Chains A and B, each alone.
Chain A
Amino acid sequence: SQQGEEDPQALSIQEGENATMNCSYKTSINNLQWYRQNSGRGLVHLILIRSNEREKHSGRLRVTLDTSKKSSSLLITASRAADTASYFCATGPGRRALTFGSGTRLQVQP
């Protein structure tokens, strides 16, 4: 069963706009991660936020974590056509296997 569920399932925006994706999970976590998957490719790790962190930045990415609500959000600012991909959240109990959500398909129109 999937631990994380992303929302929305699909998102279409114009280049330059911000994209926000949300993730909800069910059980306690050690960390939460976001991955990106281009069509036909493997997943690529974007950013990890620990359970004791509330916000983290990496370039145009901003991730928030609310453990009381068991939710996280990924914000991509000033989106580009090259950001078109599926984005997954994944939760991990430390160094063991990750559980992935169902993903958000992001389409950035040039």
Chain B
Amino acid sequence: DAGVIQSPRHEVTEMGQEVTLRCKPISGHNSLFWYRQTMMRGLELLIYFNNNVPIDDSGMPEDRFSAKMPNASFSTLKIQPSEPRDSAVYFCAIPPPPGNTGELFFGEGSRLTVL
């Protein structure tokens, strides 16, 4: 367990509301990945950061989604305004310390329900 803390673990909100999901690696990491998991589409990469800079955000569904990584110990994924189709489990993942070969350590996820 490389230690990735996600919050909130569960969120229920109404359509149109802003949602902010948070990810905090216990040890600072310059690389960080956001994935979304749904029954219909499985695990999808939304965005990933390297050296705190977004490298690939092609998976971000639309302009309603935005992500930031202001430092190596914190990242946020924001949805504004939220829609029912955004209901999913959102995972944050990090690579292990230098020397790794590409595996990822995942947080426990944030389960979002948009009514």
A30 touches B108 (CB 8 A): no
A2-B42, A88-B43 given; A97·B33 CB < 8 A: yes
Give how many B residues have a beta carbon under 8 Å from the other chain's beta carbons: 23
A97-B45, A99-B45, A100-B42 given; A43·B102 CB < 8 A: no
The interface residues of chain B lying within 8 Å CB-to-CB of A97 are: 33, 45, 48, 56
A94 touches B43 (CB 8 A): no
The interface residues of chain A lying within 8 Å CB-to-CB of B109 are: 41-42
The interface residues of chain A lying within 8 Å CB-to-CB of B104 are: 43, 45, 98
A48-B103, A94-B102, A97-B33 given; A43·B91 CB < 8 A: yes
How many Å from the CB of A65 to the closest CB on chain B?
14
Q: Mark B14-56, 1 if CB is under 8 A from A, else 0.
A: 0000000000000000010101000000110100100000011
- The residue in chain B whose Cβ has the minimal distance to the Cβ of A34 is B103
Q: Mark A20-50, 1 if CB is under 8 A from B, else 0.
A: 0000000000110100000001111100101
B103 touches A33 (CB 8 A): yes
Interface positions of B from 46 to 72, Cβ below 8 Å from A: 48, 55-56
Give how many A residues have a beta carbon under 8 Å from the other chain's beta carbons: 23
The interface residues of chain B lying within 8 Å CB-to-CB of A41 are: 108-109
- The residue in chain B whose Cβ has the minimal distance to the Cβ of A102 is B42
Q: How far is the CA of A43 from the CA of B2 in the complex (A)?
A: 12
A50 touches B42 (CB 8 A): no
List the 7 closest A-B pairs by CB distance, nearest first. A42-B106, A100-B43, A45-B103, A43-B106, A92-B102, A42-B108, A102-B42
